[in-house]
Structure 1
Amino acid sequence: MWVDPDDDPRESDTEILDERDLLLDYLRNYRLTLEMKCAGLDAEQLARRSVPPSTMSLLGLVRHLTEEERRFRRIMAGEDVPRLYRTDEDRDGDFTGAVADPAVVADSFRQWRTEVDRTDRYLAGVTDLDTRNAGFSDLGAQPGGEERLRDVLVAQIAEYARHCGHADLLRERVDGRVGQ
């Protein structure tokens, strides 16, 4: 077991009353899972690549999911927030820039937590899952267009779920820890 089930921070007494509560709980749990998979590792371990030629690492996943949190804000809240790590020249900058430097690690986690907080503040102010996007989407949807909060939220959960699976494998490669 990763943690004693009685101490698992993903378990809460929050009562799930509706679809919105359920989706937000899934998102919260996957974010906590990512954090748990990174806990207790140093900069070298967090930046350790999976297998050549892949640039995937736990730190890269944190940076990638930071970009995804910002993407959520761009689409749903209509905020004009540039990418932090990816550029036209380096579309994988979230992964290639994930280097074994304690300052990079600290900044990456700070940025991720900031973006999670900003997404959560937006979500706290919107109760209708049918709310339409206020910004441009990756699909070319115009503000006030085709994308609903429900769909973007489910896509965000799927993004975390997929990458938490990667995090399981990456963590096992670093120190053999598996589970939960």
Structure 2
Amino acid sequence: MDSRKRDDEAVANRWTPSTIHRDMWVDPADDPRETVDERGALLESLRHFRLTVEMKCADLDAEQMARRSVPPSTMSLLGLVRHMAEDERHFRRMAGEDSPRIYRTPEDRDGDWNGAVADPAVVEDAWRQWRAESEVTDRFIAGFADLGTRTGEAPLREILVAQIGEYARHCGHADLLRERIDGRVGQ
């Protein structure tokens, strides 16, 4: 028997119904696929999208970071970083902190986008704010053993899923913004 046929038979024999759970391919304890608990899956998704934002902005100068998408939109990568800092700040308020908005005001509800100007100090501040707010979010989430805990308005898992959705939406925008700047596309 040639080695390829032996390998095929070994694979076929490995993925046959188990002896403990006849309706499954393998016993759950023997399943080679990585399984992650709910918390791990959600936190990894959040981490993934945060890293994507950083990757999309890598190696850009202040002018490129502040470059608007298309008129009349005020969307830019810098505005996106500022916007996500505001979104991350929501977790401070859930923790009961008196946390006024960073960029938005009653007079300028789009201050996160409108104030995204081509100034290296503005870019540096946006990254500093975003990182600080992300760290607060992480500490807040770590303080709860049960993601079903209500945090005032909803269970923590729902707030976390909404935050991941917000990042996912804006990572799509970041793909298009970056492509417009220098032609680089996402992965």
- TM-score normalized by the length of structure 2: 0.80
In the aligned structure 2, how far is the partner of 1:102 from the partner of 1:115? Answer: 20
- Which residue of structure 2 lines up, in the alignment, with residue 8 of structure 1? none
Query: Deviations for 1:7-32, whole angstroms, at most 9, x for unmatched residues?
Result: xxxxxxxx753101100000000000
In the aligned structure 2, how far is the partner of 1:59 from the partner of 1:124? Answer: 28
In the aligned structure 1, how far is the partner of 2:107 from the partner of 2:52? Answer: 31
In the aligned structure 2, how far is the partner of 1:16 from the partner of 1:124? Answer: 20
Match of 1:152 among 159, 164, 169: 159
1:97 and 2:86 matched: no
Task: Tell me the SS of whatever aligns to 1:129.
Answer: coil
How far is the alpha carbon of 1:131 from its aligned partner? 1.0
- Which residue of structure 1 lines up, in the alignment, with residue 139 of structure 2? 121
Q: Which has the higher contact order (CA 8 A, sep 6+)?
A: 1
Moved over 6 A (4+): none
Q: How much is the aligned-residue C-alpha RMSD, in angstroms? A: 1.1
Query: Deviations for 1:112-146, whole angstroms, at most 9, x for unmatched residues?
Result: 0011111111112212111111xxxxxxxxx4xx4
Task: Tell me the SS of whatever aligns to 1:127.
Answer: coil
**Contact 2:89 / 2:99 at 8 angstroms: preserved in 1?**
yes
1:170 and 2:177 matched: yes
- TM-score normalized by the length of structure 1: 0.83
- Which residue of structure 1 lines up, in the alignment, with residue 20 of structure 2? none
Match of 1:64 among 69, 83, 87: 83
Task: Tell me the SS of whatever aligns to 1:130.
Answer: coil
Residue 174 of structure 1 aligns with an amino acid whose one-letter code is I
How far is the alpha carbon of 1:72 from its aligned partner? 2.5
Task: Tell me the SS of whatever aligns to 2:133.
Answer: helix
- Which residue of structure 2 lines up, in the alignment, with residue 5 of structure 1? none
Match of 2:62 among 21, 24, 43: 43
**Contact 1:38 / 1:171 at 8 angstroms: preserved in 2?**
yes
How far is the alpha carbon of 1:55 from its aligned partner? 0.2
Identity across matched positions, percent: 73
Which ranges in structure 1 are unaligned for 5 or more consecutive residues?
1-14, 134-142
How far is the alpha carbon of 1:79 from its aligned partner? 1.9
**Contact 2:91 / 2:136 at 8 angstroms: preserved in 1?**
no
**Contact 2:104 / 2:112 at 8 angstroms: preserved in 1?**
yes
Query: Deviations for 1:71-123, whole angstroms, at most 9, x for unmatched residues?
Result: 13213x22221100000100000000000000000011001001111111111
- Which residue of structure 2 lines up, in the alignment, with residue 130 of structure 1? 148
Larger Rg: 2
